[in-house]
Structure 1
């Protein structure tokens, strides 16, 4: 039995007075993209059959932010019973033992500032009009802070990178941004003072470059994780916990499709069974090797090999099946089968768990 049971979705819009509008009872669709190379998540939310007054209020800009919570409600824990084992199974190892459901598994997967909203028809074909109407809302995490926050100050001789990071964080604070997961800063102190007259985003680019890290806004928090680190949380993915199909090998790492799990975030770890990946990698290597040998032999075999399509060699795979999440795409609809996330992952090699410094994780 799968541990994912009964979808959960909550969409909240917030106005300038912090009052919330809950649209969870309506049909809601969403597509959210986030990656370590971007400064913040971008989401497009579709809400169906809103009242005219509410629709106009959202398009007029009365609501400034939105929060999206998604996942599964789970099932109530049942009293444990002694398992009944058939005689023919005595002494045998059973693969993929059932995972017991342990209550709800939902959480915030996106929060952002509303950029614009527009109304339209829910019909996908122009010649087939739909009685439903849809309002599409675009929101970006930390957009206002990234665009408007600036640094206009000086730092005295002897400053270090953590001092610039702290000043940058303070410039983001008026926009509701707080400290998130942050790696250690280099100890270097600079012998001369410096004038800072730039956007806070530019300052963060410089700080991240000195720390060999990437930075982004995650749920209203400023996060900066070094390239040689990861967040110390791991999610095991299999057929019972939400894995869909088999992971795909890519030139950068692997791509995983699974049901929505709010515990999986950027820079966190996922673990998958390596059997399918090893088989696919060996298959690709055999095809490419055969094509290379045929080209080297010349004659008709070389012509056939030249016409044969070879695939780019995949990236290294992890012996223990553990990968670091570098990109996430959420796709969901409360009235359709879409309810999954696609993960872009790289192998965990020599990276270590993040040790925080100067900010809370």
Structure 2
């Protein structure tokens, strides 16, 4: 679905769309490339003229669909493919303007804490359409001296995250943060019955690259339980997600870049096959 600045929307669900979503990593934005086939001339011309400002991808399965990407259109082009198919290519970025343009010019008086810094930075993201999502609980330490902040907001957000040992990201127009080495509560089981594809590749340090069918339940910092080749079970935290899809083709998968998380014993599992 694409949206114009005034709120007018256009649903492209019945057209062929080939998409690539580039993963979310700490303090980096997500990006996406969409190839949309055989739009009407009027719609294709409107996109190229900049009449539409944002694009949202909702995908999954009948009982388990959700937003995979929500971002601002940065570039579009039009081409002819296979001598018959007209293709409009759209490149989009998640929370681009907040990342690039948000700045802060504020002094916090003595006695401030990390939560006040976080709130002040959040206020600078809001004018660019960013809302608050999952947020790490900040430490209660009160600082005896005032703090002056002047410059790009994301730079100060990085400093705060390093100081308080949390990770943060813009995801689908939300500012989200979570403590280092923490994960979302539910455990998502991946095996041959629940969408696991191919052979899980283990990386240096005990991490893994895992390919599975597109599952919007899997998010940044999700905890997944994977049945490995040896029939052993591994637990992994999802650090970034790359997606490849074709609404009228065979490609429909996620590549999960994960770190190991093997200290789980009694945590209940959520089997994605039941969604």
TM-score, normalised by the number of residues in structure 1: 0.70
Residues 39 and 215 of structure 1 are in contact (CA less than 8 Å); yes or no, is this contact kept in structure 2?
no
Residue 115 (1) aligns with residue 74 (2): yes
Unaligned runs of 5+ in 1: 1-11, 74-103, 124-129, 280-318, 354-361
Aligned-partner Cα distance in 1 for 2:190–2:148 = 49
Q: Which has the higher helix share?
A: 1
**1:160 and 1:188 in contact (8 A); partners too:** yes
Q: Can you give the 5+ residue segments of structure 2 that lack an aligned partner in the other structure?
A: 268-275
Is residue 248 of structure 2 the alignment partner of residue 335 of structure 1? yes
Report how many aligned residue pairs link the two structures: 265
Structural RMSD (CA): 1.8
Contact 2:27/2:158 (CA < 8 Å) preserved in 1? no
Matched, 1:257 2:257: no
1:231-242 to structure 2, matched below 5 A, reads 231-242=184-195
Q: Do 1:186 and 1:210's aligned partners in 2 also have CA atoms closer than 8 Å?
A: no
Local SS of the residue matching 1:159: coil
What per-residue deviation string (whole Å, max 9, x for no partner) do you get for residues 108-156 of structure 1? 1110011111111224xxxxxx211111111111101111111111110
Of the candidates 154, 179, 183, which is equivalent to residue 230 of structure 1? 183
The structure that has the greater radius of gyration is 1
Contact 2:78-2:89 within 8 A present in 1 as well: yes
- Taking structure 2 as the reference length, the TM-score comes to 0.91
More displaced 10-residue stretch of structure 1: 179-188 or 133-142: 179-188
Instruction: Kindly indicate whether the alpha-carbon contact (under 8 Å) linking 1:259 and 1:340 is maintained by their aligned counterparts in 2.
Output: yes
Report what 2:273 is aligned to: none
- Higher mean displacement: 53-62 or 319-328: 319-328
Match of 1:268 among 216, 222, 243: 222
Match of 1:174 in 2: 127
Hey, what's the Cα distance between the residues in 2 that align with 1:119 and 1:331? 21
1:198 and 2:151 aligned: yes
- Residue in structure 1 matched with residue 9 of structure 2 by the alignment: 20
Separation in structure 2 between the aligned mates of residue 349 and residue 202 of structure 1, nearest angstrom? 32
